[in-house]
Amino acid sequence: MATHTGSNASPTGTNGKDAKPELSDSFQENQGKGGETHQVAQEDGAVLTTSQGVPVADDQNSLKQGARGPTLLEDFHFREKIFHFDHERIPERVVHARGYGAHGYFELTESLADITRADIFQRVGEKTEAFARFSTVAGSKGSSDVARDVRGFAVKLYTKEGNWDLVGNNIPVFFIQDAIKFPDLIHAAKPEPDRGFPQAQTAHDNFWDFISLSPESMHMVMWIMSDRTIPRSFRMMEGFGVHTFRLVDVDGKSSFVKFHWKPKLGLQSVVWNEAVKINGADPDFHRRDLWTAIESGDFPEWELGVQIFDQEFADSFDFDVLDATKIIPEELVPVRVVGRLVLDRLVDNFFATTEQVAFCTQNIVPGIDFTNDPLLQGRNFSYLDTQLKRLGSPNFTHLPVNAPRCPFAHFQQDGHMAMHNPAGRANYEPNSWGPAQGGPREDPVRGFKSVMTPPDGDKLRIRPESFADHYSQARQFYISQTPIEQKHIGDALVFELSKVERPDIRSRMVSHLIHIDGDLADTVAKGLGLPLPEPAKAAVAPKTDLPPSDALSILKNGPQSFAGRKLGLLVSDGADAALVKALMSAVEDAGAMCEVVAPKIGGATLSDGTMLPAQQKIDGGPSVLYDAVAVILSDEGAAMLAKDAPSKDFVADAFAHCKFLGLSPQAEPLLVKAGIAEDLDDGCLGLESADDAKAFVAALAPLRFWDRESRVDLDAMNA
Ligand code: HDE
């Protein structure tokens, strides 16, 4: 019987090229050098080998007894290949499973030497290597990026005195006050255990049952029902360390600190109907956005800000600074910017870095310390524990992404996958072997010292009185929002609670809202078709006099610029070439990107006969993927697209999501068929000339034309 190779490749697996006889001589040992993977250098024509380094002659066919088998056990290449494949998966993170990361650096812009001895905060202008991972919390690894969820914002800073992990979120407060409730919270948020759904959604009974039975979560509820949980991009969201930490100076004196990351591009979120559609059109929306930005050299950047305060402030503050359900308003303690984080390097391999990065809250360095925040204390146990389960060995610090960049030396040894064991005679200390053989020694001056704090009382299982106010800051958050943001919070609550099957859970939730804002409670009750319930029992009477804080609103902290954003440009054959080119260059001048969407991916032949390549075919490039859209068509193009459902959705959705639209006059038939021609408003600008193109791009700075929302949304019309 004739045999064949089973692929187009030659039987040698080298595609007919002369195979290089010898392996590349650099079997790269990258650990501790900032590299990524152990791999044979991929030089042109490198020979495929087994993991033992044996050159492989045939990677297309297993070894068989006769052409039709059976397959033989002695085929060590096949055995090894399948064995390795079978073991490729590691457990996904129990929370924050879906994430995306990038390398970069932190640069100090203002010294904190008077407040902390932390090496990273000493010398202005000095850069420290960093790795950041952004994530959703509830969804599993394969879920969609734009789920309504808190985003993790975890940064590993490879300082000269060890790795400092600031494992934060894009929301400055948390659901619970004590770590012992974390498994309950997460069980309630994740898919319900009997049915195994819903995935990456809090819109279900178990979540709202738990939340409505946990008044301490009400402040966080306001944040998660706001548009903070549907960010436009990782690049456009804030990050927070959440807990109160300590900064410690050379004399051991400590100050309290809250950490903030502020995005250079300003804050921006999408709207809910848009998020739902983005998840279908591009489940990788956020990771693709980060990848594309870094790849194109538009490096995402955040300022690091600190709120520093002392015991006297803590004692005078209305709430307990150890309670992670509370913020310290920026108006009370201003955020002082001390540095910037720039992400400028993509990972070489997703698994090696983003999957294997192991953040641990207890990774702190001399000059930084914990407080007794009971949530932080619980986290300090959990993160180390979870990394062992996930990465399978206590040697996960040997992985390049986790290894310190500064020198390190200790007597830890052995264990699965040990890649560097102590050298020399001694693997213990104290010892008598002297500097050459005896290994490292403690350094009482440079070494980490915990801040000395006196014990605070008896051993108890109790929640302090100072943690008892659950509504005041929830109210403060709500009244700090613009009307459109308040409307979105109401809409989100109605949406989520409408997915809850049990009316008593819906009603219990509304009973809490009454303490936050009467109008909000009314709107939600009305939206659910519920009578207004009695207010929930409050442990202490909520304060109603906390002043609004502008820092809490997304829209008050927008960029007023289209830079870093993306325009979707729908074109057809025959579209006005000069106009298209003028618009594209105006977008580029604004520091933004333009993606061409056309009926065919090959592109469109413009009026001057030039072919404009498209990045998206119309069905793959719906307007939800863009911050604003422009439609430049020929008469024939418009007549054709007016019959096409995705083209009609393109303009109708952009309109419904309050985006700015730039429209060439020929687009009219498409707008008519999409049902928006008669509703055009000041957010829809005509495009006929190069000047129009410039004016259109200049008009994009507010990012959305919110005035429209009251005319395109049923909830708003019924309000
Ligand atoms: Fe986490 N959290 N968490 N968390 N968390 C994890 O560690 C935990 C909390 C946060 O990109 C786990 O490596 C407990 C607050 C981020 O790899 C685990 C409690 C904040 C990430 C864990 C909290 C966070 C995690 C799961 C209650 C914001 C992803 C996988 C006390 C300040 C890091 C892992 C990454 C991940 C435990 C609450 C942020 C199980 C017990 C509050 C950004 O250790």
Ligand 1 center–CA 410 separation, angstroms: 27
Spatial CA neighbour of 661 closest among 588, 569, 526, 532: 569
Give dist(CA 301, CA 324) in Å, integer.
26
- Rounded Cα distance between 290 and 303, Å, is 17
Q: Give backbone dihedrals phi and psi of 136, rounded to 5 degrees, phi first.
A: -95, 170
User: Residue 718 has what pLDDT?
Assistant: 61
Q: pLDDT by residue (tens digit) across 422-476?
A: 888 999 999 999 988 999 999 999 999 999 998 889 999 999 999 999 999 999 9
CB 320 within 8 A of CB 372: no
The predicted model gives 519-524 an average pLDDT of: 98
Class for the domain spanning 562-718? alpha beta
Phi, psi (rounded to 5 degrees) for 341: -110, 125
Q: What is the mean pLDDT of residues 410-429?
A: 93
Cite the DSSP H helix spans in 443-546: 472-479, 483-498, 503-516, 518-528
- Position 455 scores a pLDDT of 87
Residue nearest to atom 11 of ligand 1 (CA): 133
Pairing of strands 99-108, 254-263: unpaired
- What residue type is assigned to position 461 of the chain? R
Q: What is the DSSP string of 277-344?
A: HHHHH-TTHHHHHHHHHHHTT---EEEEEEEEE-HHHHHHSSS-TT-TT----TTTSPPEEEEEEEEE
Q: What is the pLDDT of residue 716?
A: 64
Q: pLDDT, tens digit, for every residue of 422-437?
A: 888 999 999 999 988 9
| In contact, 221 and 301? CB cutoff 8 Å | no
CA of 579 to the centre of ligand 1 (A): 50
CA gyration radius for the chain? 29
The identity of residue 205, as a single letter, is: D
pLDDT for residue 386: 97
Strand, helix or coil at 246? Answer: strand
Which protein residue has the closest C-alpha to ligand 1 atom 19? Answer: 379
| d(CA 561, ligand 1 centre) in Å | 34
What's the gap in Å between 464 CA and the centre of ligand 1?
Answer: 24
Question: DSSP 3-state assignment of 245?
Answer: strand
Which ligand 1 atom lies nearest to the CA of residue 378?
31
Of 234, 239, 238, the closest CA to residue 285 belongs to 234
Q: How many CB atoms lie within 10 A of CB 467?
A: 20
Measure the CA–CA gap between 561 and 265, rounded to whole angstroms: 8
Reported as a pLDDT band with limits 50, 70 and 90, residue 404 is: very high
What whole-number distance in Å separates Cα of residue 472 and Cα of residue 685?
Answer: 43
pLDDT at 3 over 80: no
As a three-state string, the secondary structure of 67-94 is CCCCECCCCHHHHHHHHHHHCCCCCCCC
Pick the catalytic residue: 96, 286, 470, 488?
96
34 or 265: whose pLDDT is higher?
265
* Cβ neighbours of 305 (radius 10 Å): 19
CA–centroid distance, 355 to ligand 1, in Å, is 14
Measured from the Cα of 185, ligand 1's closest atom is: 27
Q: Ligand 1: list residues with CB < 6 Å.
A: 93-96, 99, 133, 135, 152, 154, 167-169, 174, 179, 182, 242, 324, 357, 359, 375, 378-379, 382-383, 386
Q: What single letter denotes the amino acid at residue 665? A: P
To test ligand 1's pocket by mutation, which of 217, 322, 382 has the most ligand atoms within 8 angstroms of CB?
A: 382
| 466 against 35, higher pLDDT | 466
Q: Could you report how far apart the first and last alpha carbons of the chain are, in Å? A: 78
Q: How confident is the model at residue 105 (pLDDT cuts 50, 70, 90)?
A: very high
Tokens at 667, concatenated: 């687009």
What does the domain layout of the chain look like in residue ranges? 100-347+363-372, 467-556, 562-718
Segments of 122-249 assigned E as strands: 127-136, 151-159, 162-169, 239-240, 245-248
Cα 306 from chain centroid (whole Å) = 21
Q: Of 77, 103, 163, 169, which is the active-site residue?
A: 169
Residues whose CB is less than 8 angstroms from the CB of residue 559 and which lie 6 or more positions away in sequence, other chains included: 265, 266, 267, 268, 701, 703
Give the pLDDT mean for 376-398.
Answer: 97
CA of 383 to the centre of ligand 1 (A): 7
Other beta carbons within 10 Å of 40 = 17
Exposed/middle/buried for residue 548 (C-beta within 10 Å: 0-12, 13-18, 19+): middle
Query: 302-331: per-residue pLDDT in tens?
Result: 999 999 999 999 999 999 999 999 999 999
E strand spans, 325-447: 336-345, 368-369
- Sorted by sequence, the CB contacts under 8 Å of residue 265 that are 6+ apart come out as 233, 235, 236, 300, 301, 559, 563, 564
Residue from 190, 379, 399 to probe ligand 1 pocket by mutation (most atoms less than 8 Å from CB): 379
- Per-residue confidence (pLDDT) for residue 38, from 0 to 100: 42
- Superfamily covering domain 100-347+363-372: Catalase core domain (2.40.180.10)
Which is it for strands 684-686 and 162-169: parallel, antiparallel or unpaired?
unpaired
Q: In the prediction, which pLDDT does 435 show?
A: 84
Give the 3-state secondary structure of residue 204: coil
DSSP string spanning 174-203?
Answer: -S-SSGGGHHHHHHHHSPPTTT---TT---
Q: Is the dihedral of CA 101, 105, 108, 113 positive or negative?
A: positive
Q: Which two tokens stand for residue 433?
A: 């072997």
Q: Using the 8-state DSSP alphabet, how is residue 564 labeled?
A: T
Which residue is it, tokens 């921006």?
268
Same CATH topology for 467-556 and 562-718: the answer is no
Ligand 1 centroid vs 377 CA: distance in angstroms? 12
* Cα–Cα nearest to 135, from 164, 162, 98, 179: 98
Peptide bond into 198 cis (omega under 30): yes
Say if residue 26's pLDDT is above 70: no
Q: What are phi and psi of 450, to 5 degrees?
A: -75, 145
Return the bridge partners of 133, or none: 101, 154
273 catalytically annotated? no
Distance CA 594, CA 566 (A): 6
Tell me the best of 90, 92, 96 to mutate to test the pocket of ligand 1, counting ligand atoms within 8 Å of each CB and taking the most: 96
Given this model, what pLDDT does residue 7 score? Answer: 42
How much is the pLDDT for 42?
53
Q: Is the pLDDT of residue 271 over 90?
A: yes
Residue 41 clears pLDDT 50, i.e. is over it: no
Mean pLDDT of 222-251: 98
Distance, in Å, from the CA atom of 230 to the CA atom of 237, rounded to the nearest integer, reads: 10
**254-263 and 245-248: which strand pairing?**
antiparallel
Residue 488 above 60 pLDDT? yes
Q: Report which ligand 1 atom has the smallest distance to the Cα of 357.
A: 17
Pairing mode, if any, of strands 566-571 and 593-598?
A: parallel
pLDDT given at position 19: 36
> Which of 92, 93, 237 best tests ligand 1's pocket when mutated (most atoms within 8 Å of CB)?
93
Please, what's the b/e burial string for 79-102 (b: 16 or more CB within 10 A of its CB; e: otherwise)?
bebeeeeeeeeeeebebbbbbbbb
Does residue 700 register a pLDDT over 80?
A: yes
Q: What is the distance between the alpha carbons of residues 625 and 621, in angstroms, rounded to a whole number? A: 7
DSSP label at residue 124: T
Residue 37 pLDDT > 50: no
Give the position, in ligand 1's atom list, of the atom nearest the Cα of 95.
26
What pLDDT was estimated at residue 714? 75
Cα–chain-centroid distance for residue 239?
A: 10
Q: What's the CA-to-centroid distance between 610 and ligand 1, angstroms?
A: 53
- Least confident stretch, 187-196, 339-348, 432-441, 480-489: 432-441
What is the secondary structure of 97-117 as a DSSP string? -SEEEEEEEEEESS--TTT--
Which strands, in side-by-side order, build the sheet including 566-571?
616-617, 593-598, 566-571, 628-632, 661-663, 684-686
Strands 151-159 and 127-136: antiparallel
Length of the chain: 719
Tokens for 96, please give them.
């924050």
For residue 129, pLDDT over 80 is answered with: yes
Atom of ligand 1 nearest to the CA of 324: 42
CB distance 497 to 508 below 8 Å:
no
Identify whether 169 is a catalytic site residue. yes
Instruction: Give residue 376's pLDDT.
Output: 98
Q: How confident is the model at residue 6 (pLDDT cuts 50, 70, 90)?
A: very low
- Mean pLDDT confidence for 617-644: 98
- Cα separation, 89 vs 84, in Å, equals 10
The predicted pLDDT at position 43 comes to 57
Six token digits for residue 324: 């992670």
CB 634 within 8 A of CB 577: no
Average pLDDT, the chain: 93
Nearest alpha carbon to residue 159 among 194, 121, 133: 121
**pLDDT tens string 333-378:** 999 999 999 999 999 999 999 999 999 999 999 999 999 999 999 9
Kindly give the number of the ligand 1 atom that is closest to the alpha carbon of 240: 32
Q: Which token pair is 30? A: 């990258």
Place of tokens 């509820």: 221
Domain 467-556 in CATH: superfamily? Answer: Catalase, four-helical domain (1.20.1370.20)
What confidence tens digit (pLDDT) does each residue in 48-74 have? 999 999 999 999 999 999 999 999 999
Kindly report whether the peptide bond that precedes residue 70 is cis, defined as omega within 30 degrees of 0. yes
> Considering only CA atoms, which residue is closest to atom 32 of ligand 1?
168
